[in-house]
Amino acid sequence: MRFVLVNDDGINASGLAALAAAARRWGDVVVVAPQTEQSECSHSVTTRRPLHVEKVATDSFAVDGTPVDCVRVALEALRLEPDWILAGINHGGNLGYDVWMSGTVAAAREAALRGIPAAAFSQYLRRDVVLDWDVAQQAAERILGHLLDGHQPAAAKEYVNINLPATTTHPAQIPICDCPLDPVPMELGFEPTEAHYRYRGNYHGRHRTAGSDVDRCFSGAITLTRLTM
């Protein structure tokens, strides 16, 4: 089995390395990732300038573009033929309303549009829980096994959004929850300064619709949400 890996935090991100290590448990891995961080770029693409693609290792390519550019380059320029496209592990949650802004989730969406099974992985962060990428890797490896064992996208152009909770629980004991996106946008505001308005929001204090991905992830579960076009 061949996996193509993409992210939006950049080719040198720790989350990408963790996901690559997890995927190698199940097959071969080729990384096609942005040269620099492209967080919150959503489904942006580059069409008005050439894309520089650098082969940085035997199975690793850096693209000076967005996550969706990386998917397109992998399929149309490098002519890779993956069984799955995996995005992440994003440094921060992509829950509820976030999926429409996330470059990580957009990479999975682009793959699904092209008929390729895809999943986006994100790691929810909390200040009071130390991030351990080894633990995230073990959780991602477990989820990949879950997906490959009959829980893969079932509908045409369906893709999967996965969020790992901020917890010290051993990955093997964290519950896996199939759940819907939280439909309520996060409350936000802007603080005026002398010449600007500065964004203000409380991610951890956001609304939690009972049973939604926000509610379940914040409560310590691995959330698996199936999305369609």
Question: Model's pTM, two decimal places?
Answer: 0.94
Domain total for the chain?
1
Q: What pLDDT shows up at residue 155?
A: 63
Backbone φ, ψ for residue 113 (5° rounding): -60, -30
pLDDT tens for residues 81-98?
999 999 999 999 999 999
pLDDT of residue 152: 67
pLDDT band with cut points at 50, 70 and 90 for residue 154: low
- Give mean pLDDT, residues 178-206: 91
CA 187 to chain centre: 22
Residue 220 structural domain: 2-228
Burial string for 31-43 (b: 16+ CB within 10 Å, else e) reads bbbbbebbbebbb
pLDDT-wise least confident of 8-12, 91-95, 123-127, 192-196: 192-196
Residue 43, pLDDT > 70, answer yes
Residue 11, domain CATH:
3.40.1210.10
Give percent above pLDDT 90 in the chain: 81
| Number of neighbours of residue 59 by Cβ within 10 angstroms | 16
- pLDDT for res 229: 78
Residue 157's pLDDT is: 84
As a whole number of angstroms, the distance between CA 105 and CA 116 comes to 14
Looking at residues 104-119, what average pLDDT do you find?
96
pLDDT of 153 higher than 90: no
DSSP classification of residue 154: -
Return mean pLDDT, the chain. Answer: 93
Helix (H, G, I), strand (E, B) or coil at 166: coil
Q: What is the mean pLDDT of residues 171-192?
A: 92
The amino acid that residue 228 corresponds to is T
pLDDT value for 149: 85
